[in-house]
Amino acid sequence: MKLTDEEKKILDGHRGVALQKAMEIVVALGQIYDAEKLIPITSAQVSGVSYKNLGDAGLEFLQEWSASGAAVCVPTTLNPAGMDLEHWQKLGFHQDFAEKQMRVISAYQSFGITPVCSCTPYLFGNLPLFGEHIAWAESSAVVFANSVLGARTNREGGPSALAAAILGKTAEYGLHLDVCRRPTHIVEIQCPLRTEADYSALGYWMGKQVNNGIPYFIGITAPTLAQLKALGAAMAASGAVALFHIEGVTPEAKQMAPSLLSTSCQTINITSLADAYHQLNQSPRDIDLVALGCPHASWEELQQIARWIKGKKVKTKLWITTSSTTTHFAQKAGIAKIIEDAGGSILSDTCMIVAPIQDLGFRTMATNSGKAAYYAPSHCGVQVRFGSLEDCLTAAITGRFPDVSSRH
Ligand code: F3S
């Protein structure tokens, strides 16, 4: 890999150990993936924030690196933490866990990162433009940035995104290059897609089919932001999809020469989502927790939930996870009060997967997120029901998930 003189000096330690460590990580990845050079980035999104995932070893790694004087030099946002950073006590999180989690947050703050913790940084200011190179971890944010915004990032890990944020550079390989952004599969949608859950079910199914391929969808018209979030997040979870195109919708699909849809692309026809729904619904219908907001809920989704639940009362716990900026907005608009009056909670800065929900006593969960439904059994030890927002809110009101077996 060709480095500039200044980059070589950093790598050799002439600019201090903090920068040297960052350069070592970025260069090592560049060498593994045959990058020719480093390129500047305009922003970073760092994962590895929940103490549940980091543990003591991860916390020590962050504390040591920040103590050496490392600081980010591009706008950098954080992934969800393991708890609501303000209301953890009220929500039942344990003191020990909270103390460790706050140490993680302090370590990130000492890198100069503002602790707004969300997997949808593009909804509150970390919004890269078309063609910008960025270094993002968090697979659902990566696939959204690449596909919907047309920015360029690989699926970074937490340390490599942090290293790139400290250097302001990443190695030029993979999805930073035009040649790696071409479709590998043409996916013809021949069944209706009505709800976010339908997009999630499609994403779950496609991730299993294409793994780390790049699907080009035909037959999806006018999807909403929530539907695009749901589709990408599920594909990035059940597979390793980091980029998709939708004919007539996503920016690169609009510019793509027909020749790029080459005969080497495999074609997949989707005529039904029944198998996806079936696979994600093998659990009991009695529900402890209804968890919405994966990826983090947008302002529109919170409004939709408030409209549906106004004047009703929940029987289960109802969590809606989002960023603290969206929560503040919801409080000012009176939406948070409607949800709280119904017995629900808006949780900021965390989510149902990275929080230690099994320690809070939950055993069964309903969600409208394909990503959460896919991860919850293995990451959180809960059994899951998956369905539309209305199905989940009905479960919250009745305590029982509706029987949807004949619907799909
Ligand atoms: Fe975000 Fe947590 Fe889902 S990080 S994408 S809400 S699993």
Distances from the Cα of 159 to the Cαs of 44, 54, 64, 83, 137, in angstroms?
11, 11, 13, 21, 9
CA 277 to chain centre: 21
Q: Specify the pLDDT at position 256.
A: 86
Task: Give distance in angstroms: CA of 140 to centre of ligand 1.
Answer: 7
Per-residue pLDDT of 132-176, as tens digits, reads: 999 999 999 999 999 999 999 999 999 999 999 999 999 999 999
Atom number in ligand 1 closest to CA 296: 6
SS (H, E, C) the chain: CCCCHHHHHHHCCCCCHHHHHHHHHHHHHHHHCCCCCEEECCCEEECCCCHHHHHHHHHHHHHHHHHCCCCCCCCEEECCECCCCCCCCCCCCCHHHHHHHHHHHHHHHHCCCCCCECCCHHHCCCCCCCCCECEECCHHHHHHHHHHHCCECCCCCHHHHHHHHHHCEEECCHHHCHHHHCCCEEEEECCCCCCHHHHHHHHHHHHHHHCCCCEEEECCCCCCHHHHHHHHHHHHHHCCCCCCEECCCCHHHHHCCHHHCCCCCEEEEECCCHHHHHHCCCCCCECCEEEECCCCCCHHHHHHHHHHHCCCCCCCEEEEEECHHHHHHHHHCCHHHHHHHCCCEEEECECCCCCCHHHHCCCEEEECCHHHHHHHHHHHCCEEEECCHHHHHHHHHHCECCCCCCCC
177-187 tens-digit pLDDT: 999 999 999 99
pLDDT in tens, 31-67: 999 999 999 999 999 999 999 999 999 999 999 999 9
The closest residue, in CA terms, to atom 1 on ligand 1 is 295
Please list every protein residue whose CB sits less than 6 Å from any atom of ligand 1.
79-80, 119, 140, 233, 294-296, 321, 351, 353-354, 371-372
Compute, in angstroms, the gap from residue 172 CA to the centroid of ligand 1.
Answer: 27
- What pLDDT was estimated at residue 12? 98
Residue from 353, 357, 367, 386 to probe ligand 1 pocket by mutation (most atoms less than 8 Å from CB): 353
Q: Which of 292, 339, 288 is nearest to 319 (CA)?
A: 292
Mutual orientation of helices 51-67 and 95-110 as an angle, nearest 10°? Answer: 40
Is a pLDDT exceeding 90 seen at residue 242?
yes
Nearest Cα residue to atom 7 of ligand 1: 353
CA nearest 274: which of 198, 346, 208?
198
Closest atom of ligand 1 to CA, residue 321: 6
Q: Which of 296, 357, 365 to mutate to test the pocket of ligand 1 (most atoms within 8 A of CB)?
A: 296
pTM greater than the 0.85 cutoff: yes
Rounded to the nearest angstrom, the distance between the alpha carbon of 70 and the centre of ligand 1 is 27
The Cα–Cα gap between 19 and 28 comes to 14
Amino acid at 316: T
Q: Which of 370, 375, 361, 374 is nearest to 392 (CA)?
A: 370
Q: Which pLDDT belongs to residue 151?
A: 98
Which residue has the least CA distance to atom 5 on ligand 1?
A: 295
Per-residue pLDDT tens over the stretch 69-104: 999 999 999 999 999 999 999 999 999 999 999 999
d(CA 40, CA 299): 32
User: What pLDDT, on a 0 to 100 scale, did the predictor assign at position 156?
Assistant: 98
Q: At what angle do helices 225-238 and 370-380 cross, to 10 degrees?
A: 40
**Ligand 1 center to 119 CA (angstroms):** 6
Q: What is the pLDDT of residue 261?
A: 81
CB neighbour list of residue 6: distance below 8 Å, 6 or more residues apart: none
Ligand 1, atom 6, lies closest to the CA of 294
Residue 338 and residue 306 in contact, taking contact as beta carbons nearer than 8 Å:
yes
